[in-house]
Amino acid sequence: MMAADPSTAPAGKLRLDPAMVSRVRDLAARAGQPIVELARTHTTVSVERAVLRLAGLDGADREGMPWVNHLVDSVRDSCGLEHGVALPVWDALAGGGYPGLAALAADAAAGKVKFALPGADRARAARAAATAALARGFAAIDDRRAERDAMIAQTSEPPRPWIYLIVATGDIYEDIPQAQAAAREGADIIAVIRSTGQSLLDYVPEGATREGYAGTYATRENFALMRAALDDVSRELGRYVRLTNYASGLCMPEIAALAGRERLDMMLNDCMYGIIFRDINPQRTFIDQRFARQIHARAGIVINTGEDNYLTTADAVDAAHTVVVSELLNEYFAKEAGLADWQLGLGHAFEINPQVPDSFLLELAHAQLVRELFPAAPLKYMPPTKHMTGNVFAGYLLDAFFNLAGVMTGQSILLIGMMTEGIHTPFLSDRDLALENVRYVLRAAGRLSENFAPPPGGFVERRAQQVLSESAALLTEIVDQGLLTAIADGTFGVTRRPADGGRGLDGVIERAPEYFNPASEFLEGAGTSAGLSGVTGGVA
Amino acid sequence: MNGTAIGAGTGAAQPAIIRPYGDTTGDGRVQVSFTLPVPFGNEEERALAEGAALQLAAKMGLEPALVVHAKGMGARFTFFVVYGTARHLVDLSQVVITRREYPLLSGPEINMAIRSSLGRKLVVVGACIGTDAHTVGIDAILNVKGHAGEKGLEYYREMRVVNLGAQVEVPDLVARALAEHADAVLVSQVVTQRDAHLAGARGLARGFASAGARRPLLVVGGPRFDPTMAGELGVDRIFGRGTTPGEVASYLVHALTGGAGAAAGAGEPAGTTTLTVGGGAA
């Protein structure tokens, strides 16, 4: 793993101009600042529900609607959310003599509670009670983080690149044996693909689930079941197997809270994916995202960003710079939220049409550029999908080239390509052959990175520098017109998303001056990450 | 299914009866790979596993067959690659081809067809109607994210998609569709209790009929629909389980840009499913 302060980094293999590198970072920060300001001055229904989840409120009514939804909706109906959900809730909790939040939520759902913003004295008491509840919640998350460190110490940290495999049966009880088998076959990271459309649900389902569409619902119980199963197999193998899920969609911060509580290790958490591919309102997404990332930072979770997705809609050569721009934006937003370099699983992909001359050289140029721009980030490299044609033999070859590009450019996480991509969910044998492919490449060429340097002034270097300058040009445009306008104009993934369009805008609320969020005190204040292991989250 | 059997004589030199070709005409040689739930550990287990693979090959019509590769995967499974001689014959005169009533087009072809024949964007309004809150189907067809490796209709440059989401009342849908000058209305119905999907589809057709104005093409989809019921329900086309965005887009182009003169509401209700036998469909 290369480690360097980017501002003084040597030119690396591509002889990138350090001034240009700091220029694109500076531009990304300027593009992102107004968005951060938006997130600082607004809240959302999902942020407020996440506060309640961090305080330990779980469960749902008989129809499966979670108590956190009932409580937040009731407060919104009674006195609005511009002051946050905490003061009215903890005031009513004390005033009504309730044993806990669930009992209050049940009464609220039945229309028996009238919430109000408490006056000064009662507000002080409510504030103290809410803060105490969140302190317990964060202590639990801190414990889970320490537990991860202990598990890694007790088993071992696998060498990089980490092998990332997907399970997606829809039934958590089928996912578990498949995940354990994949770990035994060599997977270092298991990602449980979520049920199609969960990102558009404005609530998090409850309990263990046995049916989903092309994936398994993200629920607290499913998280806990899978983490426990992977702990078993980690001990058996003497190697810590990480678990990944998705903090995306309309419930992004709530799922981040559940991930922290159940010791998930990585979460898909892109700054723009939901906007572009799911038509979720841009403002809702950015506000939710900041709070979700603050929780991830605290919980020691590595985020995975989704730049690979842009290349499934846009051309991988023409749009190469949009990937870099999105990575720089993701980095800015992540660091602002308190995530450290080691938590930035920035994404990119091997998606150039294999019919294009020099396609592999272009892939190397792009992959090495990303490696050098983000030297300390655990980059996640995604295999070909768009040009997997059903010719499984050619696909197997393409996957081998992807693996080769991955080791040549020192990628950190390799999502393993399946030769049957786009045909069916992988057979047992597809996965086994894919692992055989990557094992061969690692064995034969694992040290290629230290022995590979593109010649000065050559094709690879020139292409990387070209993509970097195109990135600077695009970032300049974005700074000029504003990121929300750029998204509205279809800059990313060729899809236009206006700032007031898409789902979830009705869940965005401007904060009042007296807005109170008891979690923010832990996530933004002096209490951040004190005494935690790992790298402390330096804010840019 | 309106399949047609193709007569022999698809080429003067083409015999009607053929066999797979390895490296010699008529040798019948094929390759298959598969997994059996048997261990591949000690010598006896290996012998049993290979014997099992050969038995399967024989029952598949591959005889003689040769296991050229066998590999244990975990404690309970073995993967095989087998070459064998297929004893079956292919009779070209008996091949049945089922054609969809519209050609499957690529993304660029769809955009091109809309541009050249409409000269403007094709407007699609989508919704889940009534009490149905299951937007999985309509989102899979409309969202850029798409389904089954295909991007949704939003991705087509020449389409303008208005996705109204869940629980839209039919009068609201009709009003919005007319206001948007929709060329097509797509409705997905997942809930089937007490035939809610059928009632919903009929309600949709009635809603547009009573609005009086030129109605857009009405397309309904859902896992429990019978695609042959379009006429009976008063809609133009029904798509069943497993439909991809590309199929819907291709159909819209066919129906709306005069692919077969099936103008909105005027064409005969189509009712074929879209399985293609031997056509190498994705």
Q: Give the ipTM of the model, two decimals please.
A: 0.83
Give me the residues paired with residue A246 across strands. A268
Q: Does the annotation mark A240 as catalytic?
A: no
Task: Give one DSSP letter per residue of A377-408, joined into a string.
Answer: S--EEE---TT--S-HHHHHHHHHHHHHHHHH
A427 in contact with B, Cβ within 8 Å: yes
Q: State the Cα–Cα distance between residues A193 and A429, nearest whole angstrom.
A: 19
Question: Tokens in use for A535?
Answer: 């790298």
- The span from the CA of B113 to the CA of B258, in Å, is 10
Task: For an interface test with B, give the residue of A200, A268, A315, A425 to mutate (most B CBs within 10 A).
Answer: A200
Question: Of A250, A432, A258, A112, nearest to B77 (Cα)?
Answer: A432
- Of A277, A422, A494, nearest to B143 by CB-CB distance is A277
Considering CB atoms only, which of A312, A390, A495 is closest to B154? Answer: A495
Q: Rg of chain B over CA atoms, in angstroms?
A: 25
Q: How far is CA B164 from CA A458, A512, A513, B132, B219, in A?
A: 52, 31, 35, 13, 15
**Strands B184-188 and B217-221, sheet pairing:** parallel
pLDDT for residue B12 = 54
Residue showing tokens 């990271």: A189
Q: What is the pLDDT of residues B112-122, one digit of tens each?
A: 999 999 999 99
Residue A499 has a pLDDT of 94
> How buried is A476 (Cβ within 10 angstroms: 0-12 exposed, 13-18 middle, 19+ buried)?
middle
Question: Catalytic annotation on A335?
Answer: no
For residue A482, the model assigns a pLDDT of: 96
Q: Which residue do the tokens 């609220």 mark? A: A108
Residue A470 tokens, joined: 């195109």
Q: Which residues of B touch A184 (CB under 8 A)?
A: 74
User: Under an 8 A CB cutoff, do B143 and A278 touch?
Assistant: yes
Nearest residue of B to residue A422 by CA position?
A: B149
pLDDT tens for the 540 residues of chain A, in order? 444 444 444 459 999 999 999 999 999 999 999 999 999 999 999 999 999 999 999 999 999 999 999 999 999 999 999 999 999 999 999 999 999 999 999 999 999 999 999 999 999 999 999 999 999 999 999 999 999 999 999 999 999 999 999 988 889 999 999 899 999 989 999 999 988 778 889 999 999 999 887 789 999 999 999 999 999 999 999 999 999 999 999 999 999 999 999 999 999 999 899 998 888 999 999 999 999 999 999 999 999 999 988 887 778 999 999 999 999 999 999 999 999 999 999 999 999 999 999 999 999 999 999 999 999 999 999 999 888 888 999 999 999 999 999 999 999 999 999 999 877 778 889 999 999 999 999 999 999 988 889 999 999 999 999 999 999 999 999 999 999 999 998 888 767 889 998 899 999 999 999 999 999 989 986 444 433 333 333 333
Instruction: Answer yes or no: are the C-beta atoms of A86 and A104 closer than 8 Å.
Output: no
User: Would you call A197 and B147 a contact, using CB atoms and an 8 Å cutoff?
Assistant: no
Q: How many CB atoms lie within 10 A of CB B96?
A: 11
Put simply, the answer to whether B145 touches A184 (Cβ < 8 Å) is no
Query: Cβ atoms within 10 A of the Cβ of B33, count?
Result: 14
| Element at A64 (helix H, strand E) | none
Q: Describe the crossing of helices A45-54 and A282-299 by its angle, rounded to 10 degrees.
A: 20
Q: What architecture is the A155-466+500-529 domain classified under in CATH?
A: Alpha-Beta Barrel (3.20)
**Helix and strand totals (H; E) in chain A:** 20, 11
Residue A289's nearest CA partner among A242, A262, A349, A329 is A329
pLDDT at B29: 98
pTM: 0.84
B73–A429: do the CB atoms touch at under 8 Å? yes
Shortest Cα distance, chain B CAs vs residue A213, angstroms: 8
- What is the Cα–Cα distance from A406 to A445, expressed in whole angstroms? 10
Residue A178 one-letter amino acid: Q
Give the span between the Cα atoms of B33 and A43, in whole angstroms: 55
Nearest CA in chain B to A182: B74
Write the residue in B77, B145, B282 that is nearest to A277 by C-beta.
B145
How far apart are the C-alpha atoms of A117 and A493, rounded to whole Å?
A: 43
- Mark the ranges of chain B whose per-residue pLDDT is less than 50: 1-10, 260-282
Structural domain spans, chain A: 44-135, 155-466+500-529
User: CB–CB of B73 and A385 under 8 A?
Assistant: no
